[in-house]
Chain A
Amino acid sequence: MPSVLPLGDPAPANGQLPAQVLEGVADRAFGLYVHIPFCAVRCGYCDFNTYTATELGGGASQDAYGGTAESEIAFAARALTESGLPPRRLGTVFFGGGTPTLLPAEDLAGILAAAVQAWGLEPGAEVSTEANPDSVTAESLRVLKDAGFTRVSFGMQSAVPHVLKVLDRTHRPERVPQAVQWAREAGLAVSLDLIYGTPGESMADWEESVRTALSYEPDHISAYALIIEDGTKLAAQMRRGEVPPIDDDDHAAKYKLADQLISEAGFAWYEVSNWSRGENQECRHNLAYWRGDDWWGIGPGAHSHVGGVRWWNVKHPSAYAGRLAAGDSPAAGRETLDPETRNVERVLLESRLSSGIAIGTLGSGRTAIAGLIADGLIEPASAFAGQLVLTLRGRLLADAVVRRILPD
C-alpha cells in the first residue's frame, strides 16, 4: 500500500458497517489480507507502509506484532457479525508486506490460525504469502505449509545484479532457484514477482530476467512496471539526475517482450500484470480485488472493502497497536461508495481482467466500443459476443480505454 492514505470520512470506533453491505453479500467471496509492516532494508523504489527493525520499538515491535494482528482479527470478526453480516468462511488469505517472512514462520502460522478460528476456511482455500528469497529456509517453508499456506510469491524482481542493486534488493540472484525448490518440496505453489523498467535495465537485462524466471518453472508470474513514487530514494535520485527518468516507451516494449516470452512458455494473462499456467494457478486473492469481492485488511495502513464500503487503517504500527489495545477500530478513514462510484470502480477494475467486462453493463459507454475495436484496443470477437476484452495494445493503454468507456 502507498505511503499516503486517501482522504475519507471518519470511521466509527466500533467498526460498524452500514446496512448497504448486506446487499448481495451471497454473491461476494470473502478474503483476508494481512499486512506485515517490516523489512530488513527499505528498497529504493518502495513507498509501502513498512519499517526496518531500527525504526520501531515498544509495543509495535516485530515480536509483539503477531498478537496485535490477532487482536484485529478478533475485532473484525465481531464487527462483521455486529453489522449483521452472515458468517462466511475465508476463500483466500494473503500475507503481504513489507516482508512477511521476516516474522518467524510460527508467528505467521499463529495469525493464520487465529483467522481460521474466527471464520474458518473454504475447502480448497488459497493461502498465500509474499516472501523475500533471502528470508526463507526449507524449514520455514515447511512450517508454513503445515500451518495451511498453499502458495508463496517470491519477490525476485530481476535476475540481473546491477538492476537489483538499483532497486536496493539485497538477495543474491542464485538464492531464488534454491527458494523455489524448497517451496516446491514443501508442497507450495510458487509465484515469481518481476519488476521491469528499472533505471539502467537494458532490454537484454529484462529478457534475461524473464527467461530466468521462466526457467524456474513457477506456477504464476507477475510483472510490474517500476513506478517512481514521491518520497522514495529513487525519486530523489531521479530528481538529482543520478538515475535516468522513466521511459514509457521502454516500459511498453518490455511489457510486450514479457507477454511474448511468458505466453510462449505456456502461461496466459488473466490480469494486465499477471500470468498463470492455468486457471487453477491464478491468484484468486488478487482477482478478488479486481472483482469487487469483500476482504478485510489486517495491519497498519491495510485497506479493506466490504460491499461498497472501503476503509484503511492508521499507518503507523504504534498508533495501530494503540487503537486495538484500547478496543477501538484501527481505521483511519473510510468511504461509502454511491452506486455511480461503484460502477466506475467496477469498470476500471473488471476491464483489466482477461474475463473482461460485459458490454451490456456499460450504459452510455457502449458508444465507444466501435472506436475501441477500430483502434485495435479490444478483441473484436469478444466484443461481438458481448464482452469487452483488452488486446495486447489495449492492455498497454488500459487506462485510456477505461476513460473512453466510462460515462462522462
Chain B
Amino acid sequence: MSPMARTAPVPAATDPAIIRNFCIIAHIDHGKSTLADRMLQFTGVVQSRDMKAQYLDRMDIERERGITIKSQAVRMPWERDGVSYALNMIDTPGHVDFTYEVSRSLAACEGAILLVDAAQGIEAQTLANLYLAMENNLTIIPVLNKIDLPAAQPDKYAAELASLIGGEPEDVLRVSGKTGDGVEALLDKIVHDLPAPIGDPNAPARAMIFDSVYDTYRGVVTYVRVVDGMLHPRERIQMMSTRATHELLEIGVSSPEPTPSKGLGVGEVGYLITGVKDVRQSKVGDTVTNLAKPAATSLPGYADAKPMVFSGLYPLDGADYPVLRDALEKLMLNDAALVYEPETSAALGFGFRVGFLGLLHLEITRERLEREYKLDLISTAPNVEYEVTLEDKKIVQVTNPSEYPTGKVAEVREPMVSATILAPNEFVGAIMELCQSRRGVMGGMDYLSEDRVEIRYRLPLAEIVFDFFDILKSRTRGYGSLDWKADGEQVADLVKVDIMLQGEQVDAFSAITHREKAYAYGVMMTGKLRELIPRQQFEVPIQAAIGSRIIARESIRAIRKDVLAKCYGGDITRKRKLLEKQKEGKKRMKMVGRVEVPQEAFIAALTTDESKDKAKK
C-alpha cells in the first residue's frame, strides 16, 4: 500500500509547490461521491472504520438535499517520493443549471479528474463541464470508473475519451470507487501530472469565492481559493464587487471537518466565516481582499447570476402563504441565484413569481420547500422572460403570461439557447424530429465515436424548459443527454393563449406560445381540464382563446348523482367520515367563478406526460 503522508503540510505555511488543487467532473450517477469517499479514506483524512458512520452518511443527507451538495472542498495529505503534498479536492455542481458555479469551481483548480462511468460513456453535461475546464486551461486526468461492473466497456470508452481530449487510450486511468482499485494510482497521478498553483505571496491578498453556504449555526461559510498574498484570522476583509467589509472571525480548511488555521496562503483552499447571514454578501466569483492593504484589481470572471426560467409558486392552502414567504427568505440565504417577488393569481391566490437558473434548479427548490418546510405547492408552468415591444415603442419585460400587454404588440423577443445533445447514432432521426418540432435550427453534428454523436441545435429557451428533456430521454430510451447555454435572443411570432372556465379566464393556465402552436396548446389544455375537473352541478364550458377569438372548446357535463343510497344498518359513523372526507376535499378546491377546481387539476394540468399521451393513442 502506498504510504499515507506521515506528516501533513500545515495550512498557512505550505509551499505552493506541494499544493495540488483539483476537481472531479462527472455525470450525476457516475460515482463521483464514492470515488471521493475512497480518496478520503486512502489519504487517512477519514478513518476506515469511521467511513460509513461519519462521512458517507453525511454525504447521503447532503445528496438528498440536492443543491447543498455543491459545498465540498477537502484538504488531503498524500506522500509521494518522500514528499508530503496537500491535495485540495473541490467539488463542482454536476448540472448545467449551475454552469456559472461550475466555472468558478474550475477556476479554483489547476486540474480536473474527468470521471466517466465505464459502462455508460460520457454524457452531455459532463462534456459541457469538460469544455469549461479546458477553457480554464485545466490539466485533465481522464478516468474510467466502475471498472468492476460486468457491463463495463473500458476499452471502448477509453478510446472515446482519448479522442475527445487527445492522448492515448492507455493513458486513461481505470478505477473502481467501490473496490478502491486504481485509487492510489490516481492520487499519485494527481501529484505527478497537475501543476502547482502559482501566485505572488507578497502581493495584496486576493482570494476567489467559489462557493458560499448558509449554515444555521455559523452563518455564511465562504469557500475560497487564495491566488495572491495571505489571509489571516481577525483581520478585516473586503468583497471587491460589493465593497462590503467584514471581520474574519474564522479561517481554516476542511479535512473534512472544518479546522481553523492561522491563515491561508498562495494556492490554498479553505473557508472563511465572517458572521454574515446572507449568501448574497458573499457572492460566488467575487474576490476577497484585505481592507487595510487592498488589491488594485479583482480576479476575472465574476458575474451576477441571471435567472432564466420563471414559475409561480403558490401554497395549496392559502393560509400557508406566510410559511412560503419565510421559507423562500431562508432558502435565499443559501442560494444566491434565487430571485422572487410576490405575485397574485385570481385562480391560485397569493404566491411568488420565482426566477431560477434552470428547470433542475426549479425542481430542487420546489422539493426543498415541500420537504423541509412541509409545504404543499402548486408551481405554474415554467416560462421564460419575453421582451415585448408595443407599437408606441414601449418595452415590457414579461416573466408571467398574465403580464402580457393587452395593447398593440409590435414585436416579441424570446431568449435562445444553444443546445448540445449526445446520443447513440441510431437516435439521430428522433432527436432531429424533436428539435425541429421545437423550432430548433441545427448547428452541426459530430461523431464522438463510431456510434455516438453530438448534435448541436439553436432553440428557443421556452421550447426546452417544459418537457424537452423528459421527451428526449424517452425518445432515446434514456441514452440521450442534453446541455445548453444561453445564446442571445430572437424575434418570434408569439401569442398569448388564455383558458376560460365558464367564461372566466384562469390566469394560471395562460401561456405564451408560438402562433403555430397556439391551437395545439388550446386543444391540449382544454382536453386535459375536461378530464381533470370533476363534474359540477351545472355544465361547464372550457375554452381556449387568443384575445377574443376562441380557438378550442370542450365542456364538462353536469353531474346528476351525488348521494349515497344506503346507510348500512345504522353505521352512521362511516357515512359521516365519508362526508368529512368530502368536505376536506372541498377545502382543497379552488373556486374559479362557480366552478370547483381541485388543486390536483392545477398540478396535473401544469405537468406534461408524453408517455400518457402516447398511451391514449
Contact = CB atoms under 8 A, between A and B. Distances in A.
Interface of A: 1-2, 6, 8, 33, 35, 48, 96, 223-225, 227, 248-249, 251-253, 255, 272-273, 289-290, 295, 297, 302-305, 310, 312, 335, 341, 344-345, 348-349, 375, 377, 395-400, 402-403, 406, 408
B344 interface: no
A335 B573 contact: yes
A399 B568 contact: no
Contacts of B394: none
Contacts of A252: 560-561
15 contacts: A1-B570, A1-B571, A48-B568, A225-B566, A297-B570, A310-B572, A345-B572, A348-B576, A377-B537, A398-B562, A399-B562, A399-B582, A400-B537, A402-B579, A403-B583
B contact patch SS: helix
A375 B582 CA distance: 20
Contacts of A290: 567
A400 B563 CA distance: 8
A329 to B, nearest CB: 17
A305 B562 contact: no
A373 B538 CA distance: 14
B565 A273 contact: yes
Contacts of B559: 248, 397, 400
Interface residues of B, number: 27
Interface string B569-586: 111111111011011001
A1 B560 CA distance: 27
B292 interface: no
Contacts of A227: 564-566
A118 B257 CA distance: 79
Given A248-B559, A408-B587, 7 more contacts: A1-B568, A6-B571, A35-B569, A48-B569, A302-B570, A341-B576, A406-B579
Nearest to A290: B567
B576 to A, nearest CB: 6
Given A303-B573, A349-B572, A224 B537 contact: no
A297 B568 CA distance: 12
B577 A6 contact: yes
Contact of A33 (B565, B570, B573, B575): B570
Contacts of A6: 571, 573-574, 577
Nearest to A303: B570
A54 B590 CA distance: 52
A403 B580 CA distance: 9
A399 B564 CA distance: 7
Given A252-B560, A341-B576, A397-B537, A272 B569 contact: no
Contacts of B573: 6, 8, 303, 310, 312, 335
Contacts of A1: 568-571
Contacts of B574: 2, 6
B579 A289 contact: no
Contacts of A310: 572-573
B570 A400 contact: no
Contacts of B580: 344
Given A345-B576, A403-B579, A272 B565 contact: yes
Contacts of A33: 569-570
A224 B567 CA distance: 10
A248 B569 contact: no
Nearest to A398: B563
A45 to B, nearest CB: 11
Nearest to A341: B576
A272 B563 CA distance: 9
Contacts of B571: 1-2, 6, 303, 312
Contacts of B586: 403
Nearest to B580: A344
B561 A255 contact: yes
B136 to A, nearest CB: 59
Contacts of B587: 408
A33 B568 CA distance: 12
Nearest to A304: B570
Nearest to A402: B579
Given A2-B568, A33-B569, A251 B579 contact: no
A342 B275 CA distance: 57
Nearest to A226: B565
Contacts of A403: 579, 582-583, 586
A273 B566 contact: yes
A349 B575 CA distance: 9
Interface string B488-525: 00000000000000000000000000000000000000
B537 to A, nearest CB: 6
B570 to A, nearest CB: 4
A346 to B, nearest CB: 10
Contact of B579 (A255, A297, A344): A344
A375 B537 contact: yes
B386 to A, nearest CB: 41
A43 to B, nearest CB: 14
Contacts of A399: 562-564, 579, 582
A186 B190 CA distance: 103
B389 to A, nearest CB: 47
A36 to B, nearest CB: 11
Given A249-B560, A398-B563, A399-B562, A302 B569 contact: yes
A336 to B, nearest CB: 12
A303 B560 CA distance: 31
Q: Across the A-B interface, give the 6 residue pairs with the lowest CB-CB distance, nearest first.
A: A252-B560, A252-B561, A398-B563, A225-B565, A303-B570, A1-B569
A180 B396 CA distance: 81
Nearest to A6: B573
A339 B583 CA distance: 18
A388 B359 CA distance: 53
Contacts of A35: 569
Nearest to B578: A399
Contacts of B579: 344, 348, 399, 402-403, 406
Contacts of B575: 348
A249 B566 contact: no
Contacts of A272: 563, 565
A348 B563 CA distance: 11
Contacts of A398: 562-563
Interface in B547-566: 559-566
B570 A289 contact: yes
Contacts of A2: 568, 571, 574
Nearest to A375: B537
A384 B583 CA distance: 27
Contacts of A303: 569-573
B601 to A, nearest CB: 18
Contact of A397 (B561, B570, B576, B577): B561
